[in-house]
Amino acid sequence: MPEPTFDVVVVGMGPVGALAANLLGLRGIKTLIIDKDSEVYGSPRAIAFDHDAMRILQNCGLTDSIEPLIAPYAPSEYHGVDGQVISRFDMQAPPYPLGWAPNYVFRQPPFEAALRSGLSRFDCVEVRAPCEFLGITARDPCVQISIQNGAEAVSITTRFLLAADGGASTVRKILGAGMTSLDFDEPWLVVDALCSDATLARLPSTIIQHCNPSRPATYVIGTGNHRRWEIRLLEHERAAAFEDEAAVWDLLKPWLKPGDAELWRWATYEFHAVVAKDWRAGPILLLGDAAHMTPPFMAQGMTQGFRDAANLVWKLERVLDGRSEDELLDTYVEERAPHVRATTEIAKGLGRVICEMDQSAALERDARMLADFGDPPVVRSRQSLIPDLTDGLILPGSNGAGAVFPQPFVGGGRDPARFDDLVGREPILVFRKSLEMKALSPHVLGLCDLHRLRCIQLSDGDDLAPGNTLTVGEQNGLLEQWFVDHNCVAALVRPDHYVFGTAAYASQVEALCLSWIDSRACSPNARVKTGHLSP
């Protein structure tokens, strides 16, 4: 097999593929990304994402271009059979735990264009579009693929191949990786409309899940004048009937009439809950919709794919650099597959609430939810439903292991910084402000320096003190409260912001560091190489 031309080839330049290529570019990894379309798809599909995704976009250096395209997510209400509010969700009050509002809405075409535009920053990232992926001709030890680049069929060799080519993934089909159904297949019509000012003034100011067995439906508030309706099709209705615009307007009668809005897009879907049986075949890895699809009832579809990319890319860098053995990539599957499944099951459960089509069962559901959540219902946070990591590269039995580490604002003055922007992209060891450095074993700082663990000491002040240990003063006490809640004085945090493990006492910090050094992230048999392929 020829020597690799690229470290990584990404197939698919939708939001997840484009994000992955941006993360790879930031780490100097020589990357080719291909897509069959040279232009961004002009209609909306995804409409929302959460603070995990926004934090990843921040880490990509893309927030300046993304912030003008987004808006905070409106409060949500579930309306029962008789229109009574049976459940409520909203964002918690600031300070926000990850430094961003918990949920956002956006318009996908300009959002996706901003992701693609970000790739131009990197000499190490090459974009080819339109370019069709044809097949895999070899995959050991590297991957040899064939692509149709214009009129020419080209063979490319790469160390790793990332399949981000959507739910109908060609790569997944070539690998023969089947999908496991989580038993949720529901037919819906999704309608995106651009509403007049007069129409906006009379439409609800909250997102509403109409849990009515005669016709379940969802009303979503997008950015600006964008509104979305998701309408459950009944058993006798067929998707083909809604190719006609008049039939769409007929279903929109409870909210709109022709002249109130311009129909931007409408499409029929089966909302699925499926997870790939195999996410990895040697140097080939699936991510995003190629690996899983979730119903939209928690707005987690795109965010799940963003978490895939953030989890995978830092591990790829360590393997390519020689700091870790190839088995580190096994933790991508060990972590993401169960997390996706658990999150999808939660979304599916919310969908079951909405999709109940039996009148008696729906009335029982309403009574049960009012008993559980109060009448009127207490306000809950969607983010409280998202699980932690339960397996993979975490320290078993350690408080907080697998949780997402908070991101406070730090520093004083009129322009405080977000924590991640100061600490960089390597793993970090964060010390609670009550921990005295002299109480640490004398070996700790040497171990951290040798293994690129950056030390962060929290302080009471607003200053940012440089040195071998970066001293920062946080605002609003997010991290201090996190340490209190998890009964620890130090936390070792991975580059994707998940906590590897914690130490309850200063005397345990050295053991925490050694656990990291002995983990698959720092294989003792791996040798650090000089770098990746040159751009």
- The domain locations on the chain are 6-69+102-177+275-342, 409-518
Supply the pLDDT for residue 140. Answer: 84
Strand locations in 237-371, DSSP E? 261-276, 280-281, 284-286, 292-293
- pLDDT over 60 (residue 274): yes
| CB-CB contact of 108 with 42 (8 Å) | no
- Using CB atoms within 10 Å of the CB of residue 409, give its burial: 0 to 12 exposed, 13 to 18 middle, 19+ buried: middle
529 pairs with which residues across the strands? none
Supply the pLDDT for residue 530. Answer: 43
Distance of alpha carbon 400 from alpha carbon 64, whole angstroms? 32
User: What phi and psi, each to the nearest 5 degrees, are found at residue 397?
Assistant: 80, 0
- pLDDT over 70 (residue 496): yes
- How far, in Å, are 200, 324, 338, 420 from residue 351 at the CA level? 26, 41, 20, 35
Tens digit of pLDDT for each residue in 18-59? 999 999 999 999 999 999 999 999 999 999 999 999 999 999
| CB-CB contact of 319 with 332 (8 Å) | no
- Contacts of residue 438, defined as CB under 8 A and 6 or more positions apart, other chains included, come to none
Tens digit of pLDDT for each residue in 470-485? 888 998 899 999 999 9
411 pLDDT band, cuts 50/70/90, is: confident
Nearest to 319 by CA among 50, 520, 475: 520
Q: Is the peptide bond before 72 cis (omega within 30 degrees of 0)?
A: no
327: left (phi over 0), alpha (psi -120 to 50) or beta: alpha
| CB-CB contact of 109 with 39 (8 Å) | no
Distance of alpha carbon 190 from alpha carbon 45, whole angstroms? 9
CA 463 to chain centre: 32
Distance of alpha carbon 467 from alpha carbon 462, whole angstroms? 16
Architecture of domain 409-518: 3-Layer(aba) Sandwich (3.40)
Supply the pLDDT for residue 303. Answer: 97
Distance of alpha carbon 163 from alpha carbon 133, whole angstroms? 10
Helix 15-26, helix 51-59: angle, nearest 10: 40
Q: Which of 184-193, 420-429, 459-468, 518-527 has the lowest mean pLDDT?
A: 459-468
Supply the pLDDT for residue 526. Answer: 53
- pLDDT over 90 (residue 1): no
Q: What average pLDDT score do residues 173-183 get? A: 93
Domain at 6-69+102-177+275-342: CATH code? 3.50.50.60
Supply the pLDDT for residue 104. Answer: 97
- pLDDT over 90 (residue 150): no
SS3 content of the chain, % helix, strand, coil (to 5): 35, 30, 40
Supply the pLDDT for residue 273. Answer: 92
Which amino acid, residue 73?
A: Y
| CB-CB contact of 432 with 483 (8 Å) | yes
| CB-CB contact of 23 with 16 (8 Å) | no
- Contacts of residue 510, defined as CB under 8 A and 6 or more positions apart, other chains included, come to 440, 441, 443, 444, 447
Tens digit of pLDDT for each residue in 59-95? 999 999 999 999 999 999 999 999 999 999 999 889 9
pTM: 0.96
Distance of alpha carbon 106 from alpha carbon 72, whole angstroms? 9
Distance of alpha carbon 494 from alpha carbon 404, whole angstroms? 10
- Contacts of residue 491, defined as CB under 8 A and 6 or more positions apart, other chains included, come to 400, 405, 429, 430, 482, 483, 499, 501, 502, 503
High-pLDDT (> 70) share of the chain, %: 96
Write down the H helix ranges in 184-329: 197-202, 245-251, 301-321
Q: Which of 65-74, 100-109, 454-463 has the lowest mean pLDDT?
A: 454-463
Distance of alpha carbon 483 from alpha carbon 489, whole angstroms? 6
Scan for tokens 């920062």, then name that residue: 472
DSSP annotation of 368: H
| CB-CB contact of 271 with 239 (8 Å) | no
Residue 316 is encoded by which pair of tokens? Answer: 């790829």
Domains 6-69+102-177+275-342 and 409-518 share a fold: no
- pLDDT over 90 (residue 525): no
Strands 284-286 and 152-163: parallel
In a 3-state reduction of DSSP, which class is residue 493?
strand
Distance of alpha carbon 314 from alpha carbon 318, whole angstroms? 6
Supply the pLDDT for residue 534. Answer: 56
